[in-house]
Amino acid sequence: MDLYPAIDIRNGRVVRLSRGDAAAETSYGDDPVAQAEAFLAAGARWIHVVDLDRAFGTGDNLAVIGRLARALGARVRIQVGGGLRSLDALAAVLDFGASRGVLGTAAITDPGLVPAAVAASGADRVAIGLDTKDGKVAIRGWVETTPLLAADVCRRVLSEGARTIIYTDVSRDGMLTGPDLDGARALQGLGASVIASGGVAGIADLLAARDAGLAGAIAGRAIYEGKFTVAEALAALG
């Protein structure tokens, strides 16, 4: 199982939100590139990067993400999400040097995007973000909830050629309450390669995700607040 230490970027800074609430922000640094270098130095093989401004529709952090991907993309695999809502937006982050782009809102609202993205970039370079609130899929930076169920969307995007799903229970994100492994396992049972996100509080959560057979887990606040280090987590995961 892969560990994905997370770098969420807002106004050029490294931050974490609680339950995706833009008003509940904690800042952890002013230099996302330096943070990525620190994760790489600790042994990270993947880094998960999110452009919160683009997700919320309040701007973007393309310049800093481009700098980060160009600086580190040849040495570590970088997964970028947040507001990638067109083929051009996906292609831009991949051209920067990212290994994979994450389609969220547009995978839900634009039924032609997923097959086009897979055809253009390959299934290995495209992930689908499925974020849920009370069991329903949330979009546009988690500020809107649809009537759709994650399982139904998962079945559709798998039929369109996608393979990797990043599953987040929004109510757990940034709360250190443990990820929704039951929800992640349900999607994996449909044939997806699932990365669990939201709520990782300690190494025990990572081991539980590994033992559940998941492809990966994203960790943010727990790392920044010293619950474990990247090196400790990687050693525990073997």
| Per-residue pLDDT in tens (0 to 9) along the chain, 238 residues | 999 999 999 999 999 988 777 778 899 999 999 999 999 999 999 999 999 999 999 999 999 999 999 999 999 999 999 999 999 999 999 999 999 999 999 999 998 999 999 999 999 999 999 999 888 999 987 788 999 999 999 999 999 999 999 999 988 877 888 999 999 999 999 999 999 999 999 999 999 999 999 999 999 999 999 999 999 999 999 9
3-class secondary-structure state, position 181: helix
Looking from the CA of 225 toward its CB, the CA atoms found within 13 Å total: 15
For residues 166 and 127, the answer to whether their CB atoms sit within 8 Å is yes
Angstrom distance (rounded) from CA 188 to CA 171: 20
Phi, psi torsion values for 172, nearest 5 degrees: -100, -15
pLDDT score for 176: 84
pLDDT score for 61: 97
Angstrom distance (rounded) from CA 11 to CA 95: 22
**Total-model pTM:** 0.95
Structure tokens at 112: 């032609």
| Residues carrying an active site annotation | 8, 131
pLDDT score for 204: 98
Neighbours of 192 (CB within 10 A): 24
- What the chain holds in terms of domains, given with CATH numbers, is 2-237 (3.20.20.70)
pLDDT score for 23: 79
CA 230, 231, 232, 234 dihedral sign is: positive
